[in-house]
Amino acid sequence: MDLQSIQTLGLPRRGTKTLYVASLAATPQTFDEYEVSLTFPHSQAALTLFTLPVVATALMIQGFEVLLGRDVLQNCLLVYDGQTNTYTLAF
């Protein structure tokens, strides 16, 4: 999750997490960790995931606010059409 978004939401830091990140060095990096709940709203049935751990990093410089991991996607059906550069996320 982007650092600015975490600050805007006023999330309390819960600790740190050491991870390997594909775009960084081959050594693990340490990030501040936070806890969030995530809701995908829908008029007929919303999906809410509680107590998701997230780490803070500068994503906005790449044009992203949040990256969804497999811990979220395991609750959904993700279809990516590379030829049209579109995706569908269902739950």
Taking the C-alpha atoms of residue 59 and residue 45, their distance in angstroms, rounded to an integer, is: 30
* pLDDT for res 23: 73
- pLDDT in the model for residue 24: 66
What is the pTM assigned to this prediction? 0.82
Checking if the pLDDT of 41 tops 70, the result is yes
Mean pLDDT of the 59-73 span: 94
Secondary structure (3-state) at 90: strand
| Alpha helices for the chain (secondary structure H) | 3-9, 70-73
The pLDDT tens digits for 70-88 are 999 999 999 999 999 999 9
